[in-house]
Structure 1
Amino acid sequence: MALKLHGSIFSLAGLRVLVALYEKDLDFEFVQINMSAREHKTPQAITRYISEVYADKGTDLISKDPMKLAIQAVWMEVEGQKFQVVTTKLLVELFFKPMNGRTTDESVVAEFEKQLESMLDVYEQRLTESKYLGGDRFSLPDLHHLPNLQTMMMTKMKRHIDSRPHVSAWASDILSRPSWIKVQAMQSE
């Protein structure tokens, strides 16, 4: 019996869960929900659950080694508490407002662009030490970055990613994963 994923193909959070399901090679049925009714759940808990319950399937998204798991946990927190917050503010101003015919608040962009630059400097340093944020293989911290990172690449903030060679290589790598390409194809349908 296939799993049922209740979500929205237009929810950045829901996209993370879709990628996790594809990475784990799981059969699932996608059930579109009404986002305005607040029917969605916390994706980080769901992706972690999928990774643990289906540890023997597909891509190993969380380490069994306690030290490596701790590093992955730190980077999941960085994504959730820093990257997601900053990039979401930028995406509202640079992507969603213009898409809906609203005016971008350039003072908000300037404030959060500075935060993005500082954060990406930390990412650049980390990615000189390992290929991925959580270590030498793709894992949940990288997966959680995909939706916001993809959308950031469609804004003028792309230059900050491109100007950091390790961040740029990491972004290119994770954005070209087959699981993410499948999710992108679902959005196009």
Structure 2
Amino acid sequence: MIKVHGMALATCTSRVLLCLAEKGIDYELVPVDVAAGEHKQQPYLSLNPFGQIPAFEDEDVKLFESRAISKYLASKHKDTGTDLLRSGCLKESAIVETWMEVEAHQFNAPMRTLIHQLILNPLGGSIPNEKIIETELEKLGKVFDVYEQKLSVTKYLAGDFLLHG
């Protein structure tokens, strides 16, 4: 049984859970009490030495980093449901990889900062920093402009081919 160690509402854990759901793969979510610091102690550190969520187990495969876990799942189960990585076509695979990199390097950083400022800071009793919010919204707006332009000509960021498989 696949085990995902983390919190369902955490962005990186939900990235893995979404991939599992897309593929229809059964799994067990093993809750990690981040508030109590479980992710910074053994035995959790044996799964993710950086003390972050999620961590992942599939028989003898133990992984951390949500994007690596998702790629592993998409590759291992490429014949189940949609081939998310388009592994059968080098051109399509390269296009998918490009947009995955855009998410990782252009979208993720401003979005993560905004979540921290707008949600986590207030939950922790801190006041959001309006200057940081303004800066990150500007960055995110530029990403959305690129997304909108691309989506005006294709169904998905990586093209129209996901309709066929």
TM-score band (shorter)? 0.7 to 0.9
Q: Give how far 1:39 is off.
A: 4.9
Match of 2:93 in 1: 69
Alignment of 1:1-189 (within 5 A): 2-35=1-34, 36=37, 37=40, 38-40=51-53, 41-63=64-86, 64-136=88-160, 137=162
The alignment of Structure 1 onto Structure 2 pairs a total of residues equal to 137
* Structure 2 gap ranges (5+): 41-50, 54-63
Question: Match of 1:129, as an amino acid?
Answer: V
Q: CA RMSD in A?
A: 1.6
Tell me, in whole angstroms, the C-alpha distance in 2 between the residues paired with 1:34 and 1:80: 26
Deviation above 3 Å: which 4+ runs of structure 1? Answer: none
Which of the two has greater helix per residue?
A: 1
Bigger Rg, structure 1 or 2: 2
Q: 1:57-85: per-residue Cα shift (whole Å, max 9, x none)?
A: 12321102111111111111110111000
Structure with greater contact order relative to length (CA < 8 Å, sep ≥ 6): 1
Counterpart CA distance in 1 for 2:96 and 2:106 is 15
* Shift of residue 87, structure 1, vs aligned partner: 0.7
User: Which stretches in structure 1 are left out of the alignment for 5+ residues?
Assistant: 139-189
Q: Any conservation in 2 of the 1:51–1:60 contact (CA below 8 Å)? A: yes
| Secondary structure, counterpart of 2:5 in structure 1 | strand
Q: 1:110 to 1:39 in 2, by over 3 A?
A: closer
* Secondary structure at 1:19 match in 2: helix
Cα distance, 1:101 vs. partner?
A: 2.2
- The alpha-carbon distance between structure 1 residues 103 and 39, as it changes in their structure 2 partners (threshold 3 A), is closer
Identity, % of aligned pairs?
33
> Structure 1 pair 39/119, CA: closer, same or farther in 2 (3 Å)?
closer
